[in-house]
Amino acid sequence: MATQSPVYIAGAYEHPTREAPEKSTMQLHAEVARGALEDANLEKDSIDAYFTAGMPEYESGLTPLIMADYLGLDVSYADTTDFGGSSYISHVGHAVAAIRNGTCDVALITLAGRPRSRGQATGSGAREIRTTQDSFERIYGATNIGMYGMAAQRHMHEYGTTPEQLAEIRVAASHHAQFNEHAMYQDPVTVDDVVSSRVVADPLHLLDCCVISDGGGALLVVSEDVRSRLEHECVEVLGHGESIGHHQAGRIDLTRTAARESGSRAFDEAGLDPTDVDYASIYDSFTITVLEAIEDLGFCAKGDGGSFVEGGALKAPNGELPFNTDGGGLCSNHPANRGGMTKVIEAVRQLRGDANDEVQVDADIALAHGTGGSIGTRHGAATVVLGGEDR
């Protein structure tokens, strides 16, 4: 909004590791925090707000306390909103609000995790019964991929979406990943490669699923005052929106996500619409996650996602909607099984002109969207619209 002071992302850092058996999760948090500080050319002492979400291995560890302790932070504001993978996009929005409120000037957001070193496999799922919902869901073997499989099945039933159309999303991601030296899977794949890979949960194949990787990332969100003392290019946060989608008391609609609300709120705040977006980072836990988000964010009509992604619309640099130019969670990185952080980082790279040359888009406006939890039961949706400073 014109009347609000601008807030910026001044630093962004993605850990290059994808497998870190010799490091602790907290150590990875520290490494990404240091990376973001170096990127922003800020000192650790300048941090006065800290954001992170829960960590599976420290379930009852009072995350903000143990992390502020470990990192040695002295903060006036902390937030551990946990929407699963979309958390870190929410954190950007919450940091903007706290900065505009005058509570803080330099907000650090960190993510780290080691699911790969801890031996998690695709298709495995938590079995502990903790919440009321677990007693009505996990008892049935409701794994994450099974739930997303049901979403894909219903989308195909209602709109005629095909496995080959879903595969186009992986094809575009793999095209981008070939230029990312850190990507877990750098070989381009074809539609046929995807649909002939093993079916993990109907109708989703192995190549419809994201990678499982160790690693992390960090962001620094700063006030206009702090930004004015920095010399490098920053990225302005133009709009943020979030929402929670759930069972609706038994009326769950597996073909739509809360991106419809989070996206429209973010666009409204930015005073922009989907046609203004030059580059989009869209959370890609599975190919169907991307397809439904594209529709719900308004890049095409509900049900038209399949035809939209055909013919290379998602491929950088010239597609209609270049997406996930780092290779995304499908091919490059999905640290801690939470993809929201890397979505923001790649959007920042695109706006600063720091993406890999072959996939650099001429981008003034970028969007980063996260879907956390499961669209098959309940999920968080968080969207930010970002602008380059030379736009």
Partner 1 sequence: MSWEPRPTPEITPETKRYWSAAADETLLVRECGDCGLVHHYPRAYCPDCFSDDVNWREATGTGTVYSYSVTRTMSGWPDDDLPLIVAYVELDDGPRMLTNLDCDPEALDIGTRVEVRFVSLESADAAIPVFVPLEE
Q: Given the rule CB under 8 A, which residues bind partner 1?
A: 121, 123-125, 127-129, 132-143, 145-147, 149-154, 157, 199-204, 247, 249-252, 254, 377
Q: Half-sphere exposure of residue 30, counting CA atoms within 13 Å on the CB side?
A: 13
If the CB atoms of residues 13 and 159 are measured against partner 1, the closer one turns out to be 159
* Paired strand residues for 365: 387
If the CB atoms of residues 160 and 311 are measured against partner 1, the closer one turns out to be 160
If the CB atoms of residues 285 and 377 are measured against partner 1, the closer one turns out to be 377
User: In the complex, what is the shortest distance from the CB of residue 371 to partner 1, in angstroms, rounded to a whole number?
Assistant: 18
- How far is residue 336's CA from residue 29's CA, in Å, rounded to a whole number? 11
Q: What type of residue sits at position 352?
A: R
3-class DSSP assignment, residue 295: helix
CB contact at 8 A, 12 and 39: yes
Helix (H) or strand (E) holding 242: strand 235-245
User: In the complex, what is the shortest distance from the CB of residue 236 to partner 1, in angstroms, rounded to a whole number?
Assistant: 39
- In order, the DSSP letters of 301-369 are -TT-HHHHHTTSTT-TTTSSS-B-TT-HHHHT--BTT--HHHHHHHHHHHHHT-S-GGG----SEEEEE
If the CB atoms of residues 2 and 121 are measured against partner 1, the closer one turns out to be 121
User: In the complex, what is the shortest distance from the CB of residue 153 to partner 1, in angstroms, rounded to a whole number?
Assistant: 5
User: In the complex, what is the shortest distance from the CB of residue 289 to partner 1, in angstroms, rounded to a whole number?
Assistant: 15
The alpha carbon dihedral of 249, 253, 259, 260 has a sign of negative
Alpha-helix residue ranges (DSSP H) falling in the chain: 25-40, 63-71, 87-100, 134-137, 144-159, 163-177, 191-195, 224-227, 259-270, 287-296, 305-309, 328-331, 340-352
User: In the complex, what is the shortest distance from the CB of residue 116 to partner 1, in angstroms, rounded to a whole number?
Assistant: 16
Residue whose token pair is 């009505």: 136
User: In the complex, what is the shortest distance from the CB of residue 303 to partner 1, in angstroms, rounded to a whole number?
Assistant: 15
If the CB atoms of residues 133 and 197 are measured against partner 1, the closer one turns out to be 133
Q: What type of residue sits at position 327?
A: G
User: In the complex, what is the shortest distance from the CB of residue 136 to partner 1, in angstroms, rounded to a whole number?
Assistant: 4
Give which of 170, 176, 160, 162 is closest to 193, Cα–Cα: 170
If the CB atoms of residues 68 and 244 are measured against partner 1, the closer one turns out to be 244
If the CB atoms of residues 128 and 390 are measured against partner 1, the closer one turns out to be 128
Tokens of 134: 């677990």
If the CB atoms of residues 76 and 124 are measured against partner 1, the closer one turns out to be 124
User: In the complex, what is the shortest distance from the CB of residue 138 to partner 1, in angstroms, rounded to a whole number?
Assistant: 5
- How far is residue 273's CA from residue 177's CA, in Å, rounded to a whole number? 28
